[in-house]
Amino acid sequence: MADKIKDAKIIFVVGGPGSGKGTQCEKVVAKYGYTHLSSGDLLRAEVASGSERGKQLQAIMQKGELVPLDTVLDMIKDAMIAKADVSKGFLIDGYPREVKQGEEFEKKIGAPALLLYVDAKSETMVKRLMKRGETSGRADDNEETIKKRLDLYYKATEPVITFYEGRGIVRKVHYATLGSDL
């Protein structure tokens, strides 16, 4: 099964909470036809299913913490396999959240061709998330959880960008300016 995605083109999409990862991914999908997989969306689908595992995930996400690595990696891998036959490439949005997640992904699936870094100032992210929280119904779009998610982003996720900069595969995306060197 995993053989099906062995040679897939993989693009990691990394940025702070509310930086616009999902929004930029939609633009890439429209332009290049890649398959968009958001770790957060996959987790929220599990929560919505009402399963016991979903309840545990919901409690973690509500606190602004990271869910266990194996859980999220297995979900992404299953989703990739399900789309392998129809996909030109994969946008992996919201993963890796820490360097270890990147390492495990590479061991189990493969190496990314590119990392899209969606950059935004922390004030901008907070403002957007507070606004999104008015309608999103997301348990983590509230002031207290947003603060925790931002702290965790700077502590755990920014090092991911430095790690892949060392490999020369990081492309920074600022607002709606998607380069044509994708």
Ligand X SMILES: Nc1ncnc2c1ncn2[C@H]1C[C@H](O)[C@@H](COP(=O)(O)OP(=O)(O)O)O1
- Residue 94 within binding range of ligand X, rule CB under 6 A: yes
Would the annotation count 166 as a binding residue?
no
CA dihedral over 137, 143, 144, 146, signed as positive or negative: positive
Min dist. Cβ of residue 62 to ligand ADP (A): 16
Q: Cα-Cα-Cα-Cα dihedral of 118, 26, 147, 170, to 10°? A: -20
Q: Scanning the structure block, which residue is given the tokens 């931002």?
A: 150
Nearest to 76 by CA among 131, 36, 112: 36
- Residue 150 within binding range of ligand X, rule CB under 6 A: no
- DSSP, collapsed to helix, strand or coil, labels residue 38 as strand
Nearest to 92 by CA among 19, 169, 34: 34
Min dist. Cβ of residue 54 to Mg ion (A): 18
- DSSP, collapsed to helix, strand or coil, labels residue 129 as helix
- Residue 133 within binding range of ligand ADP, rule CB under 6 A: no
x/- map, 101-130, ligand ADP, by CB under 6 A: ---------------------------x--
Residues that bind Mg ion (CB under 5 A): 21-22
Q: What is the Cα 162 distance to its own chain's centre?
A: 17
Nearest residue relative to ligand ADP (C-beta): 20
| Binds ligand ADP (CB under 6 A): choice among 83, 132, 148, 172 | 132
- Residue 133 within binding range of ligand X, rule CB under 6 A: no
> Which residues are paired to 93 by β-bridges?
13, 38
Name which of Mg ion, ligand X, ligand ADP, none residue 36 binds, using a CB cut-off of 5 to 8 Å depending on partner kind.
Answer: none
Considering the complex, state which of residue 23 and residue 162 has its C-beta at the smaller distance from ligand X: 23
Nearest to 18 by CA among 144, 121, 170, 157: 121
Q: How far apart are CA 105 and CA 11, in angstroms?
A: 12
Min dist. Cβ of residue 178 to ligand X (A): 18
Please give the residue ranges that form the binding site for ligand ADP (CB under 6 A): 15, 17-23, 128, 132, 175-176
Please give the residue ranges that form the binding site for ligand X (CB under 6 A): 17-18, 21, 39-40, 43, 61, 64, 66-67, 72, 94-95, 97, 101, 140, 149
